[in-house]
Amino acid sequence: MYKYDTYDQKMVDTRVEEFRDQVERRIAGKLTEDQFKPLRLMNGLYLQLHAYMLRVAIPYGTLNGTQMRTLAHIARKYDRDYAHFTTRQNIQYNWIKLEETPDLLAELASVEMHAIQTSGNCIRNISSDQYAGAAADEVTDPRPYAELLRQWSSFHPEFSFLPRKFKFAVIASDEDRAAMRLHDIGIQIVKDGWDKVGARFYAGGGMGRTPMIAPLIREFVPIGELVSYAEAILRVYNRYGRRDNKYKARIKILVHEMGAEKFIEEVEAEFVHLQGQNIDAPAAELERIIAHFEDPAYEVGLTEDIDRSDPDFAVWLDQNVSAHKQPGYAIATISLKPIGGIPGDASSAQMDLMADLTEQYSFDECRVTHSQNIVLPYVRKADLYALWQKLDEAGLASPNLDLISDIIACPGLDYCSLANARSIPLAQKIAKRFADIDRQKELGELKLKISGCINACGHHHAGHIGILGVDRKGTENYQLLLGGSGAEDVSLAKITGPGFTEDGIVDAIETVTDIYVASREDGERFVDTYRRLGMDPFKEALYG
């Protein structure tokens, strides 16, 4: 994985000291809250419902054991012994003290981490495929290109005050595990007919109050011009994006209102203008970055056999372990979705254990997924049973990847000052209702996603089943949505009709899954049956 050079480290260290000075000036009264707020937000420090919340960037979701252990240490020393992995592959601490934040950031910097650009109208943490570098279906590892974009976008003076926040996702396989087309810019690394690497660009996607699927902007950009094409899109957005209304300021609104064709014309004109200005990284720099992501030292001649005699292990193996490009290896997903637990939360002890397992079993590398789980990307098949035993002992071996209890849920009204309704208790109730693993497996792949408000941090638009919490005259109410997907079959979910109470929505989910089970054809997932039948039978069962 990428290691900071002296420039990276200096930038982060300098920012820590700059923020330390700003905090001291705020506490001393030399800065008002109005003056200080944008400064703390640029360093990922929000004021949430109960306290300050710090969002720490995890570039493309990749961590080593030392970094994971430091995240555990920070949870123990500066927070309340736990933290929350987010749908942006980041981590959040919910109970941070302003006066301790500079010391916390210094500890993060010591392991090449920071909270820069995790808030504000700038280019945010770049997300990617959690199986990058290990997936059998990718054309190349997408992370060097995500890293190049990270370096380009960090402290980019022209793009520090965009009309609104801006999110990239970079993948390199046809299977989309990163909700790529629901980003401001989605990039798929591809190869052309001559085996040359390039980037397919999508722009203008997103969730929130106006969900949009990003249209294709350019089929192939030579990889050497990745940065200048991204810059061309950002320049067009920065010039024409609306600043008069924050709800219409995202690039998706610009692309929609301008029309994709006209938007492309503008981008291409800007791209021509930028060519020859030498803003792309020299080939040697890209090679330097790529070298950081070379394959680990795989052993060869390893056994492919796995002893399945422990039935509980076999269930986990079938559900949470994925194919690897390297013979003898597998990709293992650690579920942070125990039945009745809080999706994405991990205790310090669990993070310490995951750090140990990362070092012991996965070439010192793990990944945070946008589904709020943790991936060990390089596990020898021969080690899977020992790994599972240690996970099971720590409550981290729920065999529910992509099943109905593998719920994405935002923090909701339990933590978030923007939320209208709670998400977590609902996720807990649904998981308990469908706790039986045989029943979950019988339902098959079913992506259930819950947001506590229209901002859609819980990706409800992209759920096979989505739930949106709303405030109905001071009472929590939940709208049900069906038919969304953040994968390569991307689609936006549609609202079924009037909302439900907290208990009513759990019953409603059982109702729609019953319709699916009764109506499905061979091999159909929930979303396939919904697409074939349409909304009517589900609506009829829900509302009569």
Partner 1 sequence: MKILTGNELKSGDVVWWTGYNWSRHVSDSIEVGDNVDQIIAREIAARTVNDCYIIDAERTDTGLLPVHIKEKIRATGPTVRSDLKIAPPDPAAGNWVI
- Residues in contact with partner 1 by CB under 8 A are 26-27, 29, 33, 47, 49-52, 80, 95-99, 342, 413-415, 417, 419, 422, 424-425, 428, 474-476
Inter-CA distances, 180 with 152, 200, 214, 282, 321, Å: 20, 11, 9, 27, 22
Residues 6+ apart with CB under 8 A from 233: 185, 201, 203, 217, 251, 267
Closest to partner 1 by CB, 30 or 239:
30
| The one-letter amino acid at 38 | P
DSSP 303-344: -------SHHHHHHHHHHEEE-SSTTEEEEEEP---TTS-TT
Closest to partner 1 by CB, 35 or 303:
35
CB of 394 to partner 1, least distance (A): 18
Closest to partner 1 by CB, 365 or 414:
414
The Cα 221–Cα 232 span in angstroms is 12
The Cα 320–Cα 329 span in angstroms is 14
Inter-CA distances, 12 with 39, 60, 130, Å: 15, 18, 25
Closest to partner 1 by CB, 98 or 106:
98
Closest CA to 132 of 88, 86, 90, 189: 189
Closest to partner 1 by CB, 401 or 416:
416
φ, ψ at 128 (rounded to 5°): -155, -175
CB of 6 to partner 1, least distance (A): 34
The Cα 147–Cα 153 span in angstroms is 10
CB of 224 to partner 1, least distance (A): 46
CB of 336 to partner 1, least distance (A): 14
Closest to partner 1 by CB, 333 or 350:
350
Residue found by looking up tokens 């109960």 in the block: 50
Residue found by looking up tokens 């009204």 in the block: 413
The Cα 55–Cα 63 span in angstroms is 15
CB of 429 to partner 1, least distance (A): 11
Residues 6+ apart with CB under 8 A from 22: 31, 36, 39, 40
CB of 100 to partner 1, least distance (A): 9
CB of 281 to partner 1, least distance (A): 40
Closest to partner 1 by CB, 28 or 284:
28
CB of 368 to partner 1, least distance (A): 21
Closest to partner 1 by CB, 91 or 332:
91
